[in-house]
Amino acid sequence: MEKISRRHMLTTTAAGGLLMAASAADAQSGNTGPQPRRPGVGGTDPGPRDVVRDSQNPDILVPPSTDHGTLPNLRFSFADAHMRLEPGGWTRQITSRELGVSKDIAGVDMRLNAGGVRELHWHKAAEWAYMLYGSARITAVDPQGRSFVNDVGVGDLWYFPAGVPHSIQGLNPDGCEFLLVFDDGDFDEDNTFLITDWFKHTPNEVLGKNFGVPASLFGHTPDPSERYMFPAPVPGPLSSDTVAGATASPQIFSHRIMAQTPITTKSGSVWITDSSVFPVAKTIASALVEVQPGGMRELHWHPNTNEWQYYIEGQARMGVFAASGQARTFDFRAGDVGYVPFAMGHYIENTGNTPLRFLEIFKSSYYADLSLDTWMALTPPELVQAHLKLDPQVMNALRKKVAPVVPA
């Protein structure tokens, strides 16, 4: 009970003190843990219930009084996704099957052990990735027959356009973990074009004719289920994987996001990456957002497309405004995925006592957002006042310059 109570005290702060601790009478009746009530509304939950889950989701158990309407679920956790375990590592995914509102983007969380290989393959969807842990070697061949090989580490990105064949391998000392994002919400990581699968389903005589060798040399390809994600020797230095006689692709399929200069305020930073700085990434744009304790990703919206989110560390709450009097609030922790439908206003607040870091992902070649604060600041003040009747102090505090993380 003490452990739950401590977590409850943290989440009550995140929810603005709206969760009420169980009373002595509640404890006697078994109604322990946070309760779905505010002064004058709600009541106790006698159970059955999941107290830990309720404590982690205070703004779902006791929504702010400003929430209203029937917005769909905008949150799903990788912790609730099916885990596929393979000899070379593991993988799990969140598609439109798990998060029904996300029709345009799907995500995969993948772990490769040192030497573990995600076999040579390609997809109908484009693949964007963010390295979460360790290091990996990636390879690709572009449509002009030119090769690409590079090593990536924590915070690095890669992008493979639809149809481009590629591979990923974990390096020493402990392999890697990465987030994959695909520009199709119905994408399924289990349905990719695998090199072993193609070999197994092509007649040996056709393979022989294609490669100019006897057909008898084929027929020994391992089953695709054995090579989807398999262990292999850890490769040597990057130079050792340069293919003799190959022409290097002029397209750069990887990107070091932390080498960029972020937009920084006293409460956080934002690194924006789209095709203007990572030219190959034609269908995925992103922002890496860091918010210090007490800070907030300001009230804003995106005028070009939906937003898919991945929470890397810390804890947060997100409020989403959907027009027509509809609004809903969600709580997030590391490993969670969030979603904001096109043009809906929202904020993301750091509700913990450690830095909050998350990714904003968009199916777009470019990043765009609009700030509520800046919109008001750049509109004739008399017109703003005619709408909102604000205190002069509020009007004087409006910012004409971009400050994506506030307080600025």
The number of angstroms, rounded, from the C-alpha of 83 to the middle of its chain's C-alpha atoms is 17
- 98 flagged as catalytic: no
Assign 90 to helix, strand or coil. strand
User: Which residues, in sequence order, are CB contacts of 91 under 8 Å at separation 6+?
Assistant: 83, 84, 108, 109, 110, 111, 189, 229
Residue bearing tokens 């040399």: 217
Q: Is 127 annotated as a binding residue?
A: yes
Surface-to-core class of residue 95, CB atoms within 10 Å of its CB (0-12 exposed, 13-18 middle, 19+ buried): buried
Which entry of 2, 290, 360, 382 is annotated as an active-site residue? Answer: 360
Bond from prior residue into 173 cis (ω within 30 degrees of 0)? yes
Are 114 and 176 contacting, i.e. CB atoms less than 8 angstroms apart?
no
The first and second tokens of residue 85, run together, are 């375990």
Q: Is 119 annotated as a binding residue?
A: no
Q: Measured on CA atoms in the order 12, 17, 23, 29, is the torsion positive or negative?
A: negative
Q: How many residues does the chain have?
A: 408
Distance between CA 30 and CA 1 in Å, rounded? 12
Q: Is 2 annotated as a binding residue?
A: no
Q: Measured on CA atoms in the order 11, 271, 91, 354, is the torsion positive or negative?
A: negative
- β-strands 176-182, 127-141 pairing: antiparallel
- β-strands 156-160, 326-333 pairing: unpaired
Count of beta carbons in the 10 Å neighbourhood of residue 291: 26
Are 371 and 300 contacting, i.e. CB atoms less than 8 angstroms apart?
yes
Distance between CA 380 and CA 190 in Å, rounded? 54
The first and second tokens of residue 17, run together, are 């003190």
Q: Is 382 annotated as a binding residue?
A: no
Q: Is 68 annotated as a binding residue?
A: no
Distances (CA, A) of 366 to 65, 121, 357: 36, 27, 21
Q: Is 302 annotated as a binding residue?
A: yes
> What residue numbers does the annotated binding site cover?
121, 123, 127, 166, 300, 302, 307, 346
> What residue numbers does the annotated binding site for Mn(2+) cover?
121, 123, 127, 166, 300, 302, 307, 346
- Residues acting as catalytic residues: 360
